[in-house]
Structure 1
Amino acid sequence: MVFVSWPLMVLLAVALSGCSPRHLVINSLASELAGQSQGAENDPELARDAAPFYFKLSEAVLAQTPGHGALAEGLAARMTEYTYAFVALEADRLEAQDSAAAHRLRQRAAALYQRARNHAITALEQRHPGLVQALANPQAPLRLAPDDVGLAYWAAAAWGSWIAQSKDQPDVVADLPLVVRLAALADASAPGWGNGALTSLRATLEASRPGGDKAQAARWFDEALHLAQGRSVAAFVAKAEGLALPAGDRDAFEQLLQQALAVPDATSSPLTLQNQIMRRRATWLLEQSPDLF
């Protein structure tokens, strides 16, 4: 969920004009795109409308600079965020009124999550050849470097979300243990990464996997809330949906969502846009609470 900056447009114009060595300009363009973030944006609709151009431009540049891990990470992150905020959540809202439209949106969400996952996994495989195959072997020794963790987080987040949208495809669902292991490897390399975002992802995966340890998931959710220091709406919503809802605990569910709505706004915070979107989610979930329990 990004806008394209003026410096980036200048770089794009130079690249198209052929006035500079092409590979230098493309690498500069890739780095500029990698740094594009609209976390502090406070208009979700504006961010939504700006995203597709960023995606297509970034994919075109990444095709020319396949080793640019920062761009692969940024693209996977923005595409995953966009899909969750503007495709998957809309499918949930439409379900009661138009199940066919909701199904089409979920199919689109699955395809976009898969696309985001592929960008991140491809970059990780370039750094660690055979990584995905090794993830399937619990005995294979694996270790990620700290600068791999962002890629690993977004790969796991997109992959897990793809699985959640593809429950009727056993071959996709069968990869869940690989996602769980990838998130664990990332956490081992950089515990608490993303102010609790990685810990929250691990909690969500643990709570949702068959035979998952709900007590461990609860500990991770609480740790994620602690790491977020009351600044992340998503941390409260994740625990409400990942733990309280499946447990049938309406009081805890509604309390967590009320806490989510009470998270204060912070000027120019990188969480501004995410918090706005997750407040909408929390409000909608509270409205649906009587039907969910």
Structure 2
Amino acid sequence: MTTVRFPRRGARPAIALLLVGLLLSGCSPRQMVIGGIADELAAQGQSAEPDLDLAREASAFYLKLSESILRQQPGHRPLAEAVAGGFTQYAYAFVAGEAEQIEARDARAAQRLRQRAAKLYQRAQRHALQALEQEHPGFVRALASPQPQDWPPLKPEQVGLAYWAAAAWGGWISLSKDDPEVVADLPLAVRLAQLAWAVDPAWGDGALTGLLATFEASRPGGSQAQALRWFDQAIAQSAGKSVGPLLGKAESYALPAGDQALFEKLLHQALTIKDQADSPLTLQNEVMRRRARWLLDKTADLF
């Protein structure tokens, strides 16, 4: 996971003022109005927000509005990326995560949350793939081809969309183990991440490399040695700024390996990361730190 794309404080007034200003301009055509709102929403999606609870409260409004504007501007790549990223991270941080935390005391409620998270991941994946299809008709069909020469090329500016499509796809698959048709698409999600990594392996301060590592560690027949190399590369790429690669290595490598010492070391290391002022990673890191603390509290149950 990478930058959490939720609106900052004041997002609603800023968007409302923009809308009023554009409408009052009189000579602006409708598409200019919609395009201006799309630009503003995409920018809001990349802003930093240090308050996790405020982000949760604001995100529903932001995502619904952004999704509505995106339907009218389907070719707006920055907004499509923000929407796909927003739904993916909302599902991970606020829905799937809550399901895990309440599982022990309310299994039925946890299952309902997992089903909701799966639908949100699916929604994010659909937005990202539709944007890629918009720019490259036949993208999904080409991705599914068994012939490497048919696989769709990616431009550097499309790597973010590809990352969110693959990450959301992976999340959807992980919560759909009883749906063979969904699970069967895992190779396509991995392939998309690999195509993106070939274009920009350092994307997202190690987020893309970390996603490949997680896929490799969890897929049937995956190489744990390769997963470890990718996790270590992702940690190096993050340069001490992102909690995500450390948490990913702890959960997807150390935990399955039964290495409690490494598991605890990585989580404690994750908790030492301090965010720089106005860092776009602030909210993502806080989500990950909360999870790291929760995992540390559950260590005795996990090993």
Do residues 10 (structure 1) and 20 (structure 2) align? no
In structure 2, the gaps of 5 or more residues are: 1-5
In structure 1, the gaps of 5 or more residues are: none
Corresponding residue to 1:253 among 253, 263, 268? 263
Instruction: Give 3-state SS (helix, strand or coil) of 1:194's partner.
Output: helix
Q: Tell whether the 8 Å contact from 1:196 to 1:223 is kept in structure 2 after alignment.
A: yes
1:203-218 aligned at under 5 Å gives the runs: 203-218=213-228
Instruction: Give 3-state SS (helix, strand or coil) of 1:35's partner.
Output: helix
CA distance in 1, matches of 2:151, 2:212: 20
| Residue in 2 that maps onto 1:265 | 275
Instruction: Give 3-state SS (helix, strand or coil) of 2:7's partner.
Output: coil
Q: Tell whether the 8 Å contact from 1:143 to 1:189 is kept in structure 2 after alignment.
A: no
| Residue in 1 that maps onto 2:90 | 82
Paired residues, number: 293
Instruction: Give 3-state SS (helix, strand or coil) of 1:159's partner.
Output: helix
Shift of 1:180: 0.4
CA distance in 2, matches of 1:16, 1:93: 46
CA spacing shift, 1:287–1:236, aligned 2, 3 Å: same
CA spacing shift, 1:244–1:39, aligned 2, 3 Å: farther
Write the deviation string for residues 94-152 of structure 1: whole angstroms up to 9, x where unpaired: 11111101000000000001001111000001112222222222312431010110100
What is the root-mean-square deviation in Å for CA atoms of aligned residues?
Answer: 1.5
Shift of 1:182: 0.1
Q: Tell whether the 8 Å contact from 1:40 to 1:268 is kept in structure 2 after alignment.
A: yes
Write the deviation string for residues 211-233 of structure 1: whole angstroms up to 9, x where unpaired: 01111110000000000011111
| Residue in 1 that maps onto 2:205 | 195
Shift of 1:60: 1.1
1:120-269 aligned at under 5 Å gives the runs: 120-139=128-147, 140-269=150-279
CA distance in 2, matches of 1:141, 1:50: 38
- Say which is worse superposed, 140-149 or 214-223, in terms of deviation: 140-149
Q: Tell whether the 8 Å contact from 1:15 to 1:22 is kept in structure 2 after alignment.
A: no
Q: Tell whether the 8 Å contact from 1:2 to 1:78 is kept in structure 2 after alignment.
A: no
Instruction: Give 3-state SS (helix, strand or coil) of 1:142's partner.
Output: coil
Q: Tell whether the 8 Å contact from 2:47 to 2:280 is kept in structure 1 after alignment.
A: yes
Shift of 1:39: 5.0
Q: Tell whether the 8 Å contact from 1:203 to 1:218 is kept in structure 2 after alignment.
A: yes
In structure 1, give the amino acid aligned to 2:234: A
| Residue in 1 that maps onto 2:127 | 119
Shift of 1:16: 6.3
